[in-house]
Amino acid sequence: MINIPVEHYLIVAAALFCIGLAIAITKQHLIGILLGIELMLNAVNINLIAFSRHDPEKIGGQLFALFVIVVAAAEITVALAIILRVYGHFRTVEPDKVSELKK
């Protein structure tokens, strides 16, 4: 097994994280923001797993990544339910238009 240096994993994860951040800022759609957040969580998991390669006895990084996946699943269900609720109430999915509290 050729050892891929850990820095390569970190660079890929950093690129994915930054793209996810840019998506979450750029998209003017609540579900588009969720796509960006999912991408960021995945990028963090790549970091955890890349470091967990060097700890094969007690793979703490992989266990942490497993819990991150669980939290991401719980987050996405609740967020989608809230988005459907917001859509039913305001008839829009653009986050800038849901600004009743600012008026």
Q: Which of residues 42-81 bind other proteins (CB under 8 A)?
A: 42, 45-46, 49-50, 52-59, 62-63, 65-67, 69-78, 80-81
Q: Is 93 in the site for other proteins (CB under 8 A)?
A: yes
Size of the site for other proteins (CB under 8 A): 75
Q: Which x/- pattern over 2-41 shows residues binding other proteins (rule: CB under 8 A)?
A: xxx-xxxxxxx-xxxxxxxxxxxxxxxxxxx-xxx-xx--
Q: How far is the CB of 92 from other proteins (least distance, A)?
A: 9
CA distances from 97 to 17, 29, 37 (A): 27, 10, 20
Compute the Cα dihedral for 62, 46, 54, 2 and give only its sign. Answer: positive
What lies within 8 Å, CB to CB, of 26 at 6+ separation is 32
